[in-house]
Structure 1
Amino acid sequence: MKMTLKTLTLTLPLIFSLFAPKSYALPQGSELKAGAAVWNLFDDADRYAMHVAYIHKPLAQFYDLRPTVLLINADQGQHYFAAGIAKDIYRYKDFSIRAAFHAGIVDESENLGDTVEFYSSIAGLYNVSELLSFEAEIGHISNGGLGDRNPGSESFVLSAHYHF
């Protein structure tokens, strides 16, 4: 199951980006994100965390990529600090799909195998208004084989986005 989710997380954004609508139909402003997550989703689902992110407006000169900064604060005192990119890949009316990739460091690496970790995700967003949207996200964190062990972990995150 883990391999299937990893494959989907990596290939779906590429496929959707080939058929993505024009950028004028996608969100154009910056966003602040706050949400709650369940980690170890396909194992014990025994870790909980808070996700906070700043998502910059799309950069037209760089394929409408959105620079992002992400902080994950887990219930057992573990923190993940990362920078990355996000891409809005599809929109229909008030619903959109976004893929993201982050590289960062974790302060307590014994559970994940290395200090350097990569977080990738795919999310569905629903715009409630011009200023607010809700998001459901599936994510995967892994050290990409940099550590002696690479257990990885999956998450499910529910978030609210404030658009400005």
Structure 2
Amino acid sequence: MRYVRGWLGAAAAALLALGFAGAARADDPAFVALSAGYFDTIDTDHDAFEGRIEYRHDKKFWIFKPFAGLMGTSDTTIHAFAGVLVDIYFGRRWVLTPSFAPGYYYEGDGKDIGGPIEFRSQIELSYRFDDRSRLGLSFNHISNAGIYDRNPGTETVAITYAIPLGRGK
């Protein structure tokens, strides 16, 4: 488990460093992203269906774009979050999007991952269509970074469809 978490963080940092030249293009609009996935994919002791909606802003602050979202599972777990993302382009069609977001986590009947303050790190690879919509696959990790005594974390694999709002700049 620690190996997966460490690998995900190192990969995201390396891709960010390598991708500065291909960071967020100014012509992309804001997006509403809808995701469906499999919650707790590695431990599977509380696996469930996950649905997620995000608003991804078109404004950039240096290389970062703000975003906010709400995730819910079939076990009534909820995670509301807001953070930053970076779009790294590989040509015109492929977009790699690492993101980080702190948030409020409500366990419901799902997995206890330590407490209400949790952090989500995610990496998503998407195909960008002519209308700027995107279809992608993401992997994320949610944990509390050790601020509570209990920190098992959880992972999700999801498919995401990002719908552009407007035509961009």
- TM-score, reference length from structure 2: 0.86
Cα pair distance change 1:63/1:13, threshold 3 Å: farther
- The percent identity for this pair of structures is 20
The 5 Å alignment of 1:4-43 reads: 4-20=3-19, 21-23=21-23, 25=25, 28-43=28-43
| Closer/same/farther in 2, CA of residues 24 and 34 from structure 1, 3 Å limit | closer
Give the aligned partner of residue 48 of structure 2: 47
Runs of 4+ in 1 over 6 A off after TM superposition: none
- Quick one: distance in 2 between partners of 1:24 and 1:121? 17
Instruction: Indicate the SS of the match to 2:90.
Output: strand
Contact in 2 for aligned 1:26/1:88 (Cα 8 Å): no
2:86 is paired with a residue whose SS is strand
Aligned to 1:64: 63
Matched, 1:75 2:47: no
Q: Hey, what's the Cα distance between the residues in 1 that align with 2:47 and 2:62? A: 38
Structure 2: stretches of 5+ with no match in the other structure? none
Q: Displacement of 1:76 after TM fit?
A: 1.2
TM-superposition CA deviations, 1:95-147 (whole Å, max 9, x none): 11110001001123761111100000011010123242101000000011122
Number of positions where the alignment pairs a residue of Structure 1 with one of Structure 2: 161
Taking a change above 3 Å as real, the CA distance of residues 64 and 28 of structure 1, as seen in their structure-2 partners, is farther
CA distance in 1, matches of 2:24, 2:95: 13
Structure 2 residue identity aligned to 1:32? V
RMSD: 2.0
Q: Does 1:91 align with 2:90?
A: yes
Task: Give the Cα separation in 2 of the matches to 1:24 and 1:50.
Answer: 26
SS at match of 1:28: coil
Any idea what the Cα deviations from partners look like across 1:44-92, whole Å, max 9, x if unmatched? Answer: 2721110110000141xx2221101010011111111111000113422
User: Which residue type is aligned with residue 63 of structure 1?
Assistant: W
Q: Which aligned pairs between 1:138-153 and structure 2 lie closer than 5 A? A: 138-153=139-154
Separation in structure 1 between the aligned mates of residue 144 and residue 24 of structure 2, nearest angstrom: 35
Give unpaired runs (5+ residues) of structure 1.
none
Secondary structure of residue in 1 paired with 2:6 = helix
Q: SS of 1:33's equivalent? A: strand
Contact 1:52 1:72 in 2 (8 A): yes
